[in-house]
Structure 1
Amino acid sequence: MITQVNNHKSHYTLVDLIDSSGPFTILRRALDIAGLSVMLSASGPYTLFAPNDRAFAKLPKGTVEHWLRAENRSDLLSVLKYHIFPGLASSADVGTMSHPKMLQGQATFITKEGDRIRIDGSNLIGVDMVSSNGVIHMIDTVMQPWHE
């Protein structure tokens, strides 16, 4: 089920919304470590498919800790950039996309069945959290880019 959270323009940045709009403590820490908080606090627009803390908890044991180590920053950066679309996409827009290219460089896939929207197998569970520099859609699974 998709919950529309907010559909009005905000004076908050994406990072401000992450700080104030839900269970995003792991994501916030990861964005800081990866150096992406500054970008998501600046101009945009960006669309962030934000995994909540429960999404991170579903990962195999040790995965988050691995990503958060300094020597694995490039892995963390790749995963996080795979959650960022360089442009503004409301939930209505996302529902019409099929293979958007993410900031990380790879295209992901989106499916829509009725009111249910999935991106790379992850359900959108909270949508249209609008900020001054983009929009956040909460997802229930951490997406991972493929590696050759």
Structure 2
Amino acid sequence: MADIIETAVNAGNFTTLVKAIESADLVEILKSEGSYTVFAPTDEAFSKLPKETLDNLLQDITKLKRILTYHVVFGDVREEDLKQIKEAATVEGSIVVIENNNGIKVNDIKVLQTDIIADNGVIHVIEGVLIPALVAAE
């Protein structure tokens, strides 16, 4: 099996996410033994952001790290777990809200695919980019 980064690269639809992870120097964390759950925005999800927003994030490494770590939860949280919880603490330090009405949503963003298993955790594909409240307020 592959780690989270290798799994994301092999999937082929997370190139922007992987580029952002590399820019923020977070590759080693997501390659470590850990057990992590990543709510992974697709390239299409990133393309919904205004181009200047993405460009600015790639230049502001501190803000980029906060946004990316807001997509990561400690532990191996599978689809069955997501159906039973209402929230999860992120590596960034904030909480994401989990909803289970008509499919799974994280902070009102739909989960498109669950349980892409990696050596050190699991990836859930989401249709948007999660922005922590403190970053959104800036």
TM-score grouping bracket, smaller chain normalisation: over 0.9
1:137 to 120, 124, 134: 124
Structure-to-structure mapping, 1:1-148, within 5 angstroms: 11-69=1-59, 72-114=60-102, 116-147=103-134
TM-score (norm 2): 0.94
The alpha-carbon deviation at position 60 of structure 1 amounts to 2.4
Segments of 5+ residues of structure 1 without an aligned counterpart are 1-10
Consecutive unaligned residues in structure 2, runs of 5 or more: none
After TM superposition, the runs of 4+ consecutive aligned structure 1 residues lying more than 2 A away are none
Aligned-CA RMSD value: 1.0
TM-score, normalisation: structure 1: 0.88
Higher relative contact order (CA 8 A, sep 6+): 1
How many residues of Structure 1 are paired with residues of Structure 2 in the alignment? 135
Percent identical residues: 30
> Which AA in structure 2 matches 1:46?
Y
d(CA) in 2 for partners of 1:117, 1:137: 10
Question: Whole-Å Cα distance in 2 between the matches of residues 49 and 138 of structure 1?
Answer: 6
Partners of 2:133 and 2:81 lie apart in 1 by: 24
- Distance in 1, matches of 2:51 and 2:9, equals 25
